[in-house]
Structure 1
């Protein structure tokens, strides 16, 4: 028997999130209850809630690739976090459109979409949120442009620091920032450590 929802009841709601009481049936037919949170911005016709933007930037004169990351204060964890650029999908917007828009807003960069994933579950233990990973490539003419600050277009209340880190230094730099007190997003940690291991093969 496949586990499945029996009913879902809203317990409380804020501007961005709602708390849900989920009654479900397990694989042995037993009825169970679970707490979950949903994003209030999601519409039934939307495939996902948000995009995670995996972005490489490189110059035409160099083979070195750098990752574009963002650092921002996150109230739920009362800490600065280092993350991939990301954002919510607007109603009627494709993942590609959302990724290009959010990347421009948060970092000032524009690029070419190379890959769009199926919906993924960033935190299935507490949330129904679904994210789509979008790979964007940015090419500039020379090495100096790679780290040149770009004009951001941030929403009110947003304060985002753009970080451009060579892939050869990514894992060590994240370890350093974590040791200094920042939180590193779990998806970014996983990617960085996987890349680190792959370069040692």
Structure 2
């Protein structure tokens, strides 16, 4: 009995020839020289293919594809006077699954009816909608009524407040909620701080004299400075 010994290159060629073509091409990329290394790489690649999720192939959507139907099996009856379609139809909307949507795309059908989808077909399914808002009214007891404050009382409340000037207004520096704008009195330009945190509008005496304002002497009062 004679035992033949093949060269490694010859044995590797026979092994790759009898292997799956996809696996053989993958093994040849690693330039293996022995059969055990080739078998090891092929086994690893085969295991990776088993754990790879299968890709779902989606067919291209063709809106002009004709719908194959058998009109011979359908019997239709027409009336002499067709019934007008109602303005509002109470039809229960059917939700399609993913597989049903894919099947309709392959057949070129509309997603809302059994007709083929063509350009402008979506206009048939447009519906008018009326939106309205309801205002919620708080329930008030009969004893409680809206009491309006007279304007004179409001004016008195403003007059009775203690004049308070802001520290930022004294320094002339605006805060994050204050705005500095340019104003003009006659031919004089002024820097005006809007909403500096003071309760009243304060004007420096020297500036009032420069602007030639009409000054009126009143009883001196103390004005606290707020931070």
Same fold (TM over 0.5): no
Higher helix share: 2
**What TM-score, normalized to structure 1?**
0.16
Compare relative contact order (CA 8 Å, sep 6+) and give the higher one, 1 or 2: 1
**What TM-score, normalized to structure 2?**
0.15
